[in-house]
Homo-oligomer: A and B are copies of this chain.
């Protein structure tokens, strides 16, 4: 099992990426190689701080880096030797089985789609994020790969999300819902109503429309939406969780009494942090491409990088792509 890692992807690269790679190499002995991609001198200097590091870690040179704010298509076309394009090339040559990047999301989607192409029958790729809920984690798809989709794309997101839930999250009887502004069938735009119809006619266990507030109840396993809405929903969640954390911290450190209280109940807070920590779930796979590409948050910690590598490994192990092709074919 070999994984390529974008060594320069994310706000905390290369430090967080390299530390995450080392954590993964130590924890997952079945990983034969983690190829970290980027400017060789820079990466080797950073790696030398971790000596002795696991043998599975290797460096592959790529001179160019795509910034977080660059236009994806222009950057992928213009920077032939970017870290993310080099990673995708290694996957195309079967030098690695999966790639992981915390860099510019659009660039990763673009490079992977252009070079690896899509799985048979898939019309557009979609990013599937695992969301912590009151029960089991749920999957939200798409969160930004395809911001102007057709109803058939969302139907395929439902099918791919179902496969992902069954094989990676080990769920049975996967319930699929459509993100809308009300539960009633007549709600939403024409686009959403047409999607509702397609999902209803599919073989999926479609439970109908769900609302934004249903994202965290865990009552729906796969929530389907267009990439624009999904991206906003995801970022609103992250922003609110951070804000509540800050408000709580401010209140808890206000005086001696609240500080003592916070100390006594610290287990409750660390459990809350753990349960709502995106880093626990690692990267978000780009579903639908003919290959394996896991996308991480730009601010990924070493733990998030490690868990993204774990997700990529599970993807390989469970032959998710084969199951996606079967499911897409069976629905036709």
Residues A251 and B237 in contact in the complex (CB < 8 Å), given A212-B231, A243-B217, A244-B244: no
Residue A242 lies at the interface, judged by CB distance under 8 Å to chain B? yes
Residue among B232, B248, B268 making CB contact with A262, cutoff 8 Å: B268
CB distance from A96 to the nearest CB of B (A): 28
CB distance from A127 to the nearest CB of B (A): 12
CB distance from A229 to the nearest CB of B (A): 6
Dominant secondary structure of chain A at its interface with chain B? helix
Residue among B227, B232, B248, B269 making CB contact with A232, cutoff 8 Å: B232
Residue in chain B with minimal CB distance to A185: B71
Residue among B228, B240, B248, B252 making CB contact with A229, cutoff 8 Å: B228
By a CB distance below 8 angstroms, the chain B residues around A244 are 241, 244, 272, 276
Give Cα A260–Cα B261 distance, bound, in whole angstroms: 7
Give Cα A192–Cα B267 distance, bound, in whole angstroms: 44
Interface residues of A in 120-164 (CB under 8 A from B): 133-134, 144, 147-148
CB distance from A25 to the nearest CB of B (A): 32
Contact yes or no, B134 A243, CB < 8 A: yes
Contact yes or no, A247 B265, CB < 8 A: no
Residue contacts A-B, CB under 8 angstroms, 6 given: A213-B238, A216-B242, A232-B232, A244-B276, A260-B265, A262-B265
By a CB distance below 8 angstroms, the chain B residues around A28 are none
Using a CB–CB cutoff of 8 Å, the interface residues on chain A facing chain B are 69, 71, 133-134, 144, 147-148, 179, 181-184, 186, 188-190, 192, 211-217, 225, 227-229, 231-244, 246-248, 251-252, 254, 257-258, 260-269, 271-272, 275-276
Contact yes or no, B216 A240, CB < 8 A: yes
Contact yes or no, B265 A239, CB < 8 A: no
By a CB distance below 8 angstroms, the chain B residues around A263 are 261
By a CB distance below 8 angstroms, the chain B residues around A269 are 248, 251
Contact yes or no, A183 B69, CB < 8 A: yes
Residue in chain B with minimal CB distance to A181: B231
By a CB distance below 8 angstroms, the chain B residues around A148 are 189-190
CB distance from A142 to the nearest CB of B (A): 11
CB distance from A102 to the nearest CB of B (A): 16
Residue in chain B with minimal CB distance to A237: B240
Residue among B181, B211, B225 making CB contact with A147, cutoff 8 Å: B181
Contact yes or no, B257 A265, CB < 8 A: yes
Contact yes or no, B134 A246, CB < 8 A: yes
Give Cα A260–Cα B237 distance, bound, in whole angstroms: 30
By a CB distance below 8 angstroms, the chain B residues around A266 are 261
